[in-house]
Amino acid sequence: MEYRRLGNSGLRVSALGLGTNAFGKRADDAASTRIIHAALDQGINFIDTANIYAGTESERIIGQALQGRRENAVLATKAGLPRHDGPHGRGSSRYHLQQELEQSLRRLQTDYVDLYQIHTFDPHTPLEETLRTLDDMVSSGKVRYIGASNYATWELMKALGISEMKGHVRYISTQTSYSLADRTPELELVPMCLDQGVGIIPYFPLAGGILTGKYNGQAGIPSGSRADTDPSFNRFLLEHNVRLGEQVSEKAAEYGCSPSVLSLAWLLARPAVSTVIVGATRTEQLEHNLDSLNLKLTPDMITELDQLSESFRHGEPFALYRLE
């Protein structure tokens, strides 16, 4: 397994990380546990979850699965997106974050989180309040490092500036939608992260499965796929996205690999990327995606993929989660 520094911190994470959004939803307890153990056995140490995944079930399952193996995992969770409809049910206020961290620790059955991430920018809470709260969490030992997610570039840069000015711990990473189907981070976020030493953690690296080639205009929606089990995902099945998936599949056939392995290998080679989150509902999916670590793209292959996806550098992000 290849390990990379998360940003310019001393934390080392596996180049492929395990995404757990499906745990407790599209993968039951037993399947999820098998996937976690298989990931650890293969050297994957970065496990990413959130307090809202599968209505908190993801954290609960991970907590059970890591019993006796907690020291092998770099455990990351998040807070900030809506948990309930109460006055403090969302956001990044001190009240909400302290409440959610304690609940996450109980579900995860651990005393600390390796990476605590703000799930999205909160326009209703001063950044100073959020960052001071996170600094206190690190001082308490309940959190080791902090990260952002779904922040605009200017929001992230402002947070880094405040942390430096106030002497608080700073964000070492940011999660963003990033793939061949979403290259919008390259316009501003990637250059800023390279300059500031912030590691990028792409989510939706396979555009929710579109870049695996499973969706095309002829075959329809495969049984058991994300679009089949989650009808809201169909909003992503736009003609230009599906066409890109078909083109990537054609290139993968030329190169002698699968489209998912090719897409992940391309993303692993991008500047500032520290670890790429890949989800799985079966251990076979996880093992297949690990092949991306052994696929070395030539400059010509990278150029071809860059040209193929050039239009996806512009326009709207593939996915973006924000508070209303």
* Interval 65-91: pLDDT, tens: 999 999 999 999 999 999 999 899 999
The residue among 90, 134, 133 whose CA lies nearest residue 116 is: 134
Is residue 318 in some structural domain? no
CATH of the domain at 242: 3.20.20.100
How confident is the model at residue 324, as a pLDDT? 82
The region that residue 243 occupies, defined by phi over 0 for left and psi between -120 and 50 for alpha, beta otherwise, is alpha
Q: Compare 215 and 274 and report the one with higher pLDDT.
A: 274
pLDDT value, residue 113: 98
Q: What is the DSSP letter of 63?
A: H
Whether pLDDT at 231 is above 70: no
Query: How far is Cα 117 from Cα 13, in angstroms, rounded to an integer?
Result: 15
Catalytic residues: 53
In the predicted structure, residue 19 carries a pLDDT above the cut 70? yes
Instruction: Return the higher-pLDDT residue of 234 and 212.
Output: 212
Q: Is 303 helix (H, G, I), strand (E, B) or coil?
A: helix
Residue 281 lies in a domain: yes
Whether 211 and 259 have beta carbons less than 8 Å apart is answered as yes
In this prediction, residue 32 carries a pLDDT of 98
Q: What is the pTM of this model?
A: 0.93
Q: Is residue 323 part of a domain?
A: no
| Per-residue pLDDT, 233 | 64
In 3D space, the residue among 286, 215, 251 whose CA is nearest the CA of residue 39 turns out to be: 286
Name 270's bridge partners. none
Rounded Cα–Cα distance for residues 254 and 96 (Å):
51
Quote the distance between the C-alpha of residue 258 and its chain's center.
22
Which residues fall within 8 angstroms of residue 291, CB to CB, at 6 or more apart? 257, 258, 261
Residue 320 belongs to some domain of the structure: no
Query: Is the model's pLDDT at 228 over the cut of 70?
Result: no
> Does residue 290 surpass a pLDDT of 80?
yes
List, in sequence order, every beta strand (DSSP E) within the chain: 3-5, 12-14, 16-19, 46-48, 74-79, 113-118, 143-149, 173-177, 199-203, 276-279
Task: Tell me the C-alpha distance between 100 and 52, whole Å.
Answer: 10
CB atoms within 10 A of CB 260: 24
CA distance 46 to 26: 20
Which among 19, 36, 22, 20 is positioned nearest to 230, based on CA atoms? 22
Q: Please, which pLDDT band fits residue 226 given cuts at 50, 70 and 90? A: low
> With pLDDT > 70 as the criterion, what percentage of the chain qualifies?
93
Taking alpha carbons only, the member of 148, 152, 154 closest to residue 199 is: 148
Return mean pLDDT, the chain: 94
- Counting the structural domains of the chain, the total is 1
Does residue 321 lie in a domain region?
A: no
Contact (CB, 8 A) for 76 and 49: yes
* Residue 303 domain boundaries: 3-313
Please indicate, yes or no, if residue 324 is contained in any of the structural domains. no
Is 264 part of a structural domain of the chain?
Answer: yes
Distance CA 215, CA 260 (A): 12
